[in-house]
C-alpha cells in the first residue's frame, strides 16, 4: 500500500510525516514511501511492528555498509566498513545490494531523546539513461525480493499516484465540501464506481485500438474523455436497458441541481434579476 498525506480535510501546513501513525495495523503490509515520510525512526517502527517498507534513499544519506548481499564478479571494490558516499564515486558495478547501519534519535520520552542504531537493506541499481544510481532503502530481505524487484516494486508507486490524481481531479475528491461522515462515504463510493466504469470502458477502447501505444493511450487522458462524455454514456446505458430520458426529465433534474442550497446568503446581483 501507499500512504497518501493531506488527502482529506487536513490543514495545508500539516507536516507529511506527522500524518503517518505506525502501529500493529502495519503487520505483514508493505508501505511504498515517498521522501516526504523519509525518517529512520518511522522505518524502525515499521520493522518493529512486523511490517515492510520501500523508500527512495535521500541523496545526501550516508549510512555505514556492514555487509554485502550480492557478490560481484571481477575486481570490484570492497565496500564493507565504509560509508556509502565514500564508495559511491568509485562504484562500477551494475547492482549494489548491501546491509547498512543508520543512526537516529528515538521519539522523545519525558523530554529526553535517545540515540539508537538500526540495520536496513540498501539497493542501488545503475540507470544507464541517466548515468546514475537509483537507490532504495528497505527491510525486505534478499530471499523475498531480488534487487531489480525492489526497484520495480517501488515503481508501482507511480501507478497509484496516477489513480489518486484521477480520483481527485476527475471525480471531485480533491475537496470534499462536507464533514458529514455518511455523505463523505457516499461521495467516495460514487468516485470509486465511476473509476471502475471508466476503467472497464477503457479496456474495451484498448481492445478496439490494439495498435495504439500504451504511452499515448494513458488512463489519465482517458478519464478526462470519460468525464466529458459521461452523460452520453449514461443515456446509452439506459437506452440499452429499455429506459429513456425525456426532455421533461432533463429539465426537472436541471432545475433541482440549479437551486443554491445556501438560502440565506445575500447575492450581489440579486437586484439585477428581481
pTM score above 0.85: no
DSSP code, position 83: B
19 and 34 Cβ atoms separated by less than 8 Å? no
Cα gap 202→192, rounded to integer Å: 15
Q: Taking Cα atoms as reference points, which of 22, 30, 25 lies closest to residue 2?
A: 30
Residue 67's closest CA among 104, 47, 102, 97?
97
Res. 98 pLDDT band, cuts 50 70 90? very high
Q: 15-48: per-residue pLDDT in tens?
A: 566 778 899 999 999 999 988 889 999 999 999 9
Beta pairing, strands 30-33 & 115-127: unpaired
pLDDT of res. 93: 82
What SS3 state is found at 116?
A: strand
CA dist 4 and 124 (Å) reads: 25
Contact present, 109 and 130 (Cβ < 8 Å) = no
Helix (H) or strand (E) holding 103: strand 95-105
- What ranges do the domains of the chain cover? 16-155, 171-273
Instruction: Please name the residues in contact with 3: beta carbons below 8 A apart, sequence gap of 6 or more.
Output: 19, 20, 31, 33, 37
Residue 6 has pLDDT above 50, yes or no: no
Write out pLDDT tens, residues 149-202: 999 999 888 888 888 888 888 888 887 778 889 988 998 998 899 889 898 988
Cell of 19: 500524518
How far is Cα of residue 242 from the mean position of the Cα atoms in its chain? 41
Q: What's the length of the chain?
A: 274
Distance between CA atoms of 5 and 232, rounded to whole angstroms? 35
User: What's the distance, Cα to Cα, between the start and end of the chain in Å?
Assistant: 55
Question: Edge to edge, what strands does the sheet with 30-33 contain?
Answer: 30-33, 52-56, 132-138, 115-127, 95-105, 64-68
Closest CA to 143 of 117, 121, 119: 121
Q: Write the DSSP symbol of residue 109.
A: B
pLDDT band at 139 (very low <50, low <70, confident <90, very high): very high
- DSSP-derived letter for residue 108 is P
Position 9 confidence tier, pLDDT thresholds 50, 70, 90: very low
Between these two residues, 272 and 253, which has the higher pLDDT value? 253
Using the CB atoms, write b or e for 33-61: b if 16+ within 10 Å: bbeebbbbebbbbbbeeebbbbbbbeeeb
DSSP state of 137: E
Distance set, CA 219 to CA 3, 113, 164, 166, 190 (Å) = 21, 47, 12, 9, 18
Amino acid at each position: 500500500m501507499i500512504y497518501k498525506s493531506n488527502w482529506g480535510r487536513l490543514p495545508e501546513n500539516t507536516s507529511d510525516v506527522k500524518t503517518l501513525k505506525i502501529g500493529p495495523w502495519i503487520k505483514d503490509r508493505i508501505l511504498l514511501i515517498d521522501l516526504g515520510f523519509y525518517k529512520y525512526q518511522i522505518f524502525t517502527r515499521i520493522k518493529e511492528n512486523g511490517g515492510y517498507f520501500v523508500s527512495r534513499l535521500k541523496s545526501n544519506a550516508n549510512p555505514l555498509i556492514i555487509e554485502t548481499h550480492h557478490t560481484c564478479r571481477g575486481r570490484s571494490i570492497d565496500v564493507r566498513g565504509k560509508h556509502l558516499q565514500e564508495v559511491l564515486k568509485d562504484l562500477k558495478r551494475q547492482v549494489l545490494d548491501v546491509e547498512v547501519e543508520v543512526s537516529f534519535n528515538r521519539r522523545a520520552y519525558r523530554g529526553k531523546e535517545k540515540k539508537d542504531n538500526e540495520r536496513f537493506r540498501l539497493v542501488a541499481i545503475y540507470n544507464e539513461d541517466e548515468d546514475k544510481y537509483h537507490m532504495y532503502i528497505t527491510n525486505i530481505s534478499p530471499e523475498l525480493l531480488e534487487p531489480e524487484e525492489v526497484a520495480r516494486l517501488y515503481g508501482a508507486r507511480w501507478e497509484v499516484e496516477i489513480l489518486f490524481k484521477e480520483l481527485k481531479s476527475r471525480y471531485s475528491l480533491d475537496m470534499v465540501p462536507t464533514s458529514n461522515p455518511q455523505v463523505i462515504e457516499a461521495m467516495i463510493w460514487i468516485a470509486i464506481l465511476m473509476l471502475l466504469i471508466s476503467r472497464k470502458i477503457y479496456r474495451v477502447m484498448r481492445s478496439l485500438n490494439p495498435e495504439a501505444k500504451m504511452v499515448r493511450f494513458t488512463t489519465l487522458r482517458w478519464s478526462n474523455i470519460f468525464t466529458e462524455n459521461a452523460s452520453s454514456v449514461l443515456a446509452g446505458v439506459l437506452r440499452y436497458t429499455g429506459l429513456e430520458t425525456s426532455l421533461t426529465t432533463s429539465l426537472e433534474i436541471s432545475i433541482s441541481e440549479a437551486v443554491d442550497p445556501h438560502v440565506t446568503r445575500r447575492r450581489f446581483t440579486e437586484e439585477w434579476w428581481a
